[in-house]
Each structure stands twice: as structure tokens, then as C-alpha cells.
Structure 1
């Protein structure tokens, strides 16, 4: 039985699974990294972690855009018949909210570094200089975008926690295939 790259009517394919888990790991890792980097006493270590945080933020933004493009061209498998009407309506809205936060959060970080009066260049993974967004630099704007980034991060992680809780509910309480189809890829026979 050969695993498929694309989704089938009952399961996700390798491409969707890989992008999903990669985004999830980076998103949660970014939250932890952001939490730690602003609390360090060593400015050098904090600076290096901030640069890593910015690099991973741009990677996350690219992966989420790729995920959305892939999703638009590759339909999700149908939900099991055991999934109720309320969940069938709430699920797509929750996924849309996840996508929105996963785009808004890196964009707010990009805006934050763009308006910073420190003018520290952003070099994703030390490969190239990422241009700033065309926003005016000021302490007030930096404060605004710092707050926006902070609130988006906490709201985003709450949404991820809800997503994880829903998946675990499906797996352990409802005992349906909602979680397993995002772990075990489709096959050419599906």
C-alpha cells in the first residue's frame, strides 16, 4: 500500500500532514521562544534568540501561505458521519481563525521590527536582509505593534489549545478518525 501525497475523501495526504505538523511545532515553539527571549538578562543571548524568532516567524508566514494555497487546491477529507451539525459549522470557522492568527502574528512581528527606532536589520537565518514594511518608525508605533503582537500571540496560543483539545476529544472520547487522519496519511487505495 503506497502513501499518497494528496488528500483523499477519507484521509489527509503526506503534504498536508507534513505542513500541518511543521506549522504546529513552529507556532508553539515561537510562543515559547518569545516568552523566554524577553525575560533573559543576557542581552547577547536575547538578541540571538530574537533573530531566531524573527527567522522562524518568516518561515511560519511562508508555510501558512503554502498551507492555504495547498488547501485551496486540495480538498479536505469529509468529516466522519459521527460529527454533529454544530461541529461541522464551527470547525471551518475555527480553522479559518487559526489561519488568520498564523498570518496576522508574523505580520505584526514584521510590522514591529519595521517601526522600531533601533533599526536592527532582519536577516532570516542569516541568508539575506528582509526589507521593512513601509511604516513610519516611532516609539509610539513600536509600542502599539508590541502590544498587538503580544495579544495576538496569547489569543493564537489559546486557539491552538482549543484545536488540540478538540482533536483529543475526537480521539479519546468520541473515538472517531478526526485525529488519526492527520497522523496516518492516505494511500493510493483510499
Structure 2
């Protein structure tokens, strides 16, 4: 038996957009957790150095995967927001997404520049030397360390807000918004 369409149902994102979204979420979550873990290890141990390398690799992967994601986003239309969503909510959602994209570029870039200002070479996956964009500089090292920390926690706060908004739309507003990125939540019609 078929059910009537949901009044606020929205079309899904394309599979590529869904994949890139969840890839970024997985990478950013792992990178943040690893960053938190590695900075709590006292001293300069082999484990800490290994975690720093992994953190940099993940961060650079985020930066590199943002390029096709931005291209995909610029070339494709985004599914419409639910009809019942207020104007301020639409504007807030657009601004939040813009801020997320900016932060997903700024956080790894600030980390790369911080490493380079500290005089620490960045070697992607232990094989690809990343060219230095800046020379070692203790003054820039301090500034970039603070910037990287601030940008990370801003990203964390915005991701939390993004998740809470998605859950609100799915379970309180019942506008099926979350199912656009999690198609298995889609109600059978």
C-alpha cells in the first residue's frame, strides 16, 4: 500500500554529495579526536610523533577532498529546503554551510602553515613532501598555533550546531530533512 507523500518531503542529495559529506565528517571527527589525544600525551614520545603524522595526513586529506567537494557544490544545485522552513532558518542554514566550507579549508591550511612555521616538514603519507609555503618563524608559529586551535573549536561548535539542527528537523519538525543525507531514513511512500 502506498502512502501519501510527506508534506515537507525534499529531494535527496546526489550520491557523490552524500559520499563527500560523510567522508568529510569521518575525516574531521578522526582528525579532531587524534588532535585531542596527541596533545594530551606528555613529552615527545614515538607514539605522539606517530599521532602527529597521522593528524597531518588526515588534515591534508580533508583539504584535498574539499577541492572536488567545492567543485561538485558549485556545479550542482542543492535540494530545496523544506517548504515550511522560515526565511531566517533558510538564511541561517546557508550561512552555516558557507562557514563550514570555509572552516574545512581554513583548519587544515592553518595546521599546515603552523607546522611549517615551527620548522617541521609535512610529508603526506610519509612519501610526498609538501612544499613549504612559509619559512620557519617563531612569531608566526605562535600566531598560527592559536589560529589553528581557535578554528578547530569554532568548527567543532558549528558541527555540533549542524548536527543539532539536522536532528531538530528530522525528529521535531518531521520534515524529513535528515533523510537527504541518510537515505535509509526516508519514509516509504
Structure 1-normalised TM-score?
A: 0.87
| Aligned counterparts, 1:58-137, within 5 A | 58-116=60-118, 119-133=119-133, 135-137=134-136
Q: Which moved more, 1:123-132 or 1:153-162?
A: 123-132
Deviation at 1:136, TM superposition (A): 3.1
- Provide the secondary structure at the position in 2 that maps to 1:126: coil
The aligned counterpart of 1:174 is 173
CA distance in 1, matches of 2:114, 2:103: 16
Residue in structure 2 matched with residue 188 of structure 1 by the alignment = none
- Native 8 Å contact 1:113 1:132 kept in 2: no
SS of alignment partner, residue 15 of structure 1: helix
Q: Unpaired segments of 5 or more residues in structure 1?
A: 1-8, 186-190
Q: Residue in 2 aligned with 1:50?
A: 52
Comparing 55-64 and 176-185, the one that deviates more: 176-185
The alignment yields a C-alpha RMSD, in angstroms, of 1.4
Q: How many residues align?
A: 174
**Contact 1:37 1:49 (C-alpha < 8 Å) held by counterparts:** yes
- After the TM superposition, list the runs of 4 or more consecutive aligned residues in structure 1 that deviate by more than 4 angstroms: none
Which has the higher relative contact order, 1 or 2, with Cα contacts under 8 A spaced 6 or more apart? 1
| Unpaired runs of at least 5, structure 2 | 1-9, 185-189
- In the superposition, the TM-score normalised over structure 2's length comes to 0.88
- Shift of residue 165, structure 1, vs aligned partner: 0.4
Question: Corresponding residue for 2:13?
Answer: 12
